[in-house]
Structure 1
Amino acid sequence: MGWPAPPSARTSRLQASNVPCVLWALLAAGCHGPGPRKDSLGSCFPPLPHPGPGEWTPWGSWSRCSSSCGRGLSVRSRRCIQFPREELCWGDTHEYRLCQQPDCPPGAMPFRDLQCALYNGHPVLGTQKTYQWVPFYGAPNQCDLNCLAVGHDFYHSFGRVLDGTPCSPGAQGLCVAGRCLSAGCDGLLGSDAREDRCGRCGGANDSCLFVQRVFRDAGAFAGYWNVTLIPEGARHIRAAHRSRNHLALMGGDGRYVLNGNWAVSPAGTYEAAGTRVIYTRATGPEETLRAAGPTSEDLLLQVLLQEPNPGIEFEFWLPRERYGPFQAQAQVLGWSPRQPQPREVDPQPLESPTVIPPRTPIPTPEPCPPCPDTRGRAHRLLHYCGSDFVFQARVLGRVRQAQETRYEVRVQLIYKNRSPLRALEYVWAPSRCPCPPLGLHRDYLLATWRLISPDGTQDRLLLPHAGYARLWSPAEDSRVRLAARHCPL
Structure 2
Amino acid sequence: PWRLLLLAWLSLLGTAQPARGSWGSWGPWTSCSSSCGDGVALRTRRCLRTTEEEPCTGDPRQYRLCQLQGCPSGSVPFRAMQCSLYDNKPVLGTSARYRWVPFHGAPNLCDLNCLAEGHNFYYSFGRVLDGTRCGPGSPDLCVGGRCLSVGCDGILGSGPRPDTCGHCGSSHSSCLFVHRLFQGTDPSFGYFGYMNVTKIPAGATHIKVTDKSRNYLALMTSDGRYVLNGDRSIAWPGPYEAAGTRLTYTRAPDGTESLEAPGPTDQDLHVMVPAPPRGSPQPPQPWACCCRRGPGGGSGGIRSPPCPLNGCGFVPAGRCGRCRPAKGRSQRIQHFCQSDF
Give the TM-score normalised by structure 2: 0.70
Offset at residue 183 of structure 1 (A):
0.9
The answer as to whether partners of 1:219 and 1:225 remain within 8 angstroms in 2 is no
Pick from 188, 192, 198 the counterpart of residue 228 of structure 1: 198
Offset at residue 227 of structure 1 (A):
1.0
Matched, 1:138 2:105: yes
The answer as to whether partners of 2:165 and 2:264 remain within 8 angstroms in 1 is no
Residue in structure 1 matched with residue 242 of structure 2 by the alignment = 272
| 1:244-263 equivalence runs, <5 A | 244-263=214-233
Amino acid at match of 2:85: L
Amino acid at match of 2:234: V
| 1:31-50 equivalence runs, <5 A | 33=8, 49-50=16-17
Deviations 1:4-24 (A, max 9, x none): xxxxxxxxxxxxxxxxxxxxx
Residue in structure 1 matched with residue 288 of structure 2 by the alignment = none
Offset at residue 175 of structure 1 (A):
0.7
Q: 1:244 to 1:122 in 2, by over 3 A?
A: same
Amino acid at match of 1:246: Y
Q: 1:295 to 1:220 in 2, by over 3 A?
A: closer
| 1:462-477 equivalence runs, <5 A | none
Residue in structure 1 matched with residue 78 of structure 2 by the alignment = 111
Pick from 277, 281, 286 the counterpart of residue 251 of structure 2: 281
Pick from 9, 16, 27 the counterpart of residue 60 of structure 1: 27
The answer as to whether partners of 2:86 and 2:99 remain within 8 angstroms in 1 is yes
| 1:60-459 equivalence runs, <5 A | 60-84=27-51, 86-219=53-186, 224-304=194-274, 342=277
Q: 1:148 to 1:282 in 2, by over 3 A?
A: farther
Distance 2:43 2:244 in 1: 35
Q: 1:303 to 1:150 in 2, by over 3 A?
A: same
Offset at residue 131 of structure 1 (A):
0.5
Distance 1:278 1:81 in 2: 55
Amino acid at match of 2:17: H
Offset at residue 165 of structure 1 (A):
0.7
Distance 1:248 1:197 in 2: 26
Question: What number of residue pairs does the alignment pair up?
Answer: 274
Q: 1:122 to 1:55 in 2, by over 3 A?
A: same
Structure 1: gaps spanning 5 or more residues: 1-31, 38-45, 305-339, 346-489
Distance 1:111 1:153 in 2: 23
Amino acid at match of 1:75: L
Offset at residue 229 of structure 1 (A):
1.6
Offset at residue 286 of structure 1 (A):
3.9
Q: 1:47 to 1:298 in 2, by over 3 A?
A: closer
Amino acid at match of 2:65: L
The answer as to whether partners of 2:187 and 2:276 remain within 8 angstroms in 1 is no
Quote the sequence identity (%).
56
Distance 2:138 2:278 in 1: 51
Offset at residue 199 of structure 1 (A):
3.2
The answer as to whether partners of 2:109 and 2:147 remain within 8 angstroms in 1 is yes
Q: 1:206 to 1:48 in 2, by over 3 A?
A: closer
Offset at residue 65 of structure 1 (A):
0.4
Look up the SS of the partner of 2:206 in the other structure.
strand
Task: Pick the structure with more strand per residue.
Answer: 1
Distance 1:250 1:48 in 2: 66
Amino acid at match of 1:179: R
Offset at residue 298 of structure 1 (A):
2.3
Bigger shift: residues 53-62 or 198-207: 198-207
Deviations 1:251-283 (A, max 9, x none): 223332112234332222111122221222345
The structure with more radius of gyration: 1
Give the TM-score normalised by structure 1: 0.50
Offset at residue 220 of structure 1 (A):
5.2
Residue in structure 2 matched with residue 398 of structure 1 by the alignment = none
Amino acid at match of 1:33: A
Distance 1:162 1:54 in 2: 32
- Say what the alpha-carbon RMSD is for the aligned residues: 3.1
